[in-house]
Amino acid sequence: MTSIGTGYDLSASTYSPDGRIFQVEYAGKAVENSGTAIGIKVKDGVILAVEKLVHSKLLVPHANRRIQTIDRHIGLATAGLLADGRHIANRARDESANWREQYCSPTPIKNIADRLGAYTQAYTLYSSVRPFGISTILGGVDKDGPGLYVIEPSGVYYGYHGAAVGKGRQLAKTELEKLKLSELSMREAVYDAARIIYLVHDDAKEKDFELEMSWIGSETGGLHVPVPDDLFKDANAKAKAALEDFE
């Protein structure tokens, strides 16, 4: 902390003299300390993948998931504080249910991203609350086709073809930029997503991790579901083999 920031990080509603809100920046640091999450939008769907770090051998495998279903056609992955991610997921479900009740139609992905962005930004305005310590990747398929958005702790959100958040985001983005995303099928993207997660994990030399993956698109009939076991195991095995070859 520089001297110019002294005393200006005690409230999310206080600007520093150079126009910064330090608690929002601290929330971004919480995201950077988390496992990597990536989203890939391809021609016929969206793939979500998460590097879930295993902090203890006593944890039950496949519990405490970081990828959650928001609506039948929308999935959400988070990097950062797990409890904050669950809260945002519940808020997203409420927003989606509200849309369906009011308009009797599936919720557009951009609409959910917009509402979550506004909700997240509200938590940067008042001294009685704190910013959410998560970055959220929102993916799904609606009447306009596949959609992928990232909502940052500040409340800003952007649409992406390929997105990465968390500790290994820079290397993951570099790898995503090498892919011709508009030409990939969903199955091909599953293999690339697994490879990228293994690559960024190895780069950080972290603890053991679990790979979580889900997809939405033509392969699933427009539903957000986990990647099938046979495909998941094959992608896992090939990602490990590719990492060994890389080394």
Quote the distance between the C-alpha of residue 125 and its chain's center: 23
Distance CA 148, CA 161 (A): 7
Residue 3 has pLDDT above 70, yes or no: no
Q: What is the DSSP letter of 21?
A: -
The tens digit of pLDDT for each residue in 131-156 reads 999 999 999 999 999 999 999 999 99
Q: Look at residue 207 in the predicted model and tell me its pLDDT.
A: 73
In sequence order, which residues have a C-beta less than 8 Å from that of residue 41 and are 6 or more positions away? 139, 146, 147, 148, 160, 161, 162, 181
- Residue 16 buriedness (CB in 10 A; 0-12 / 13-18 / 19+): middle
The tens digit of pLDDT for each residue in 62-92 reads 888 899 999 999 999 999 999 999 999 999 9
- Mean pLDDT to the nearest integer, 23-50: 95
Question: Mean pLDDT for the chain?
Answer: 92
Distance CA 39, CA 49 (A): 6
Percent of the chain clearing pLDDT 70 (strictly above): 95
**Domain topology for 36-245:** Glutamine Phosphoribosylpyrophosphate, subunit 1, domain 1 (3.60.20)
Q: What residue has token string 């970081």?
A: 66
Question: In terms of Cα–Cα distance, which of 201, 242, 178, 235 is closest to 47?
Answer: 235
Q: Look at residue 222 in the predicted model and tell me its pLDDT.
A: 94
Residue 246 has pLDDT above 80, yes or no: no
CB count within 10 Å of CB 217 equals: 25
Residue 116 has pLDDT above 70, yes or no: yes
Q: Look at residue 1 in the predicted model and tell me its pLDDT.
A: 45
Q: Look at residue 244 in the predicted model and tell me its pLDDT.
A: 76
The tens digit of pLDDT for each residue in 152-203 reads 999 999 999 999 999 999 999 999 999 999 899 999 999 999 999 999 986 5
Q: Where are the domains of the chain?
A: 36-245
Q: Regarding beta strands 157-159 and 162-165, do their DSSP bridges make them parallel or antiparallel, or are they unpaired?
A: unpaired
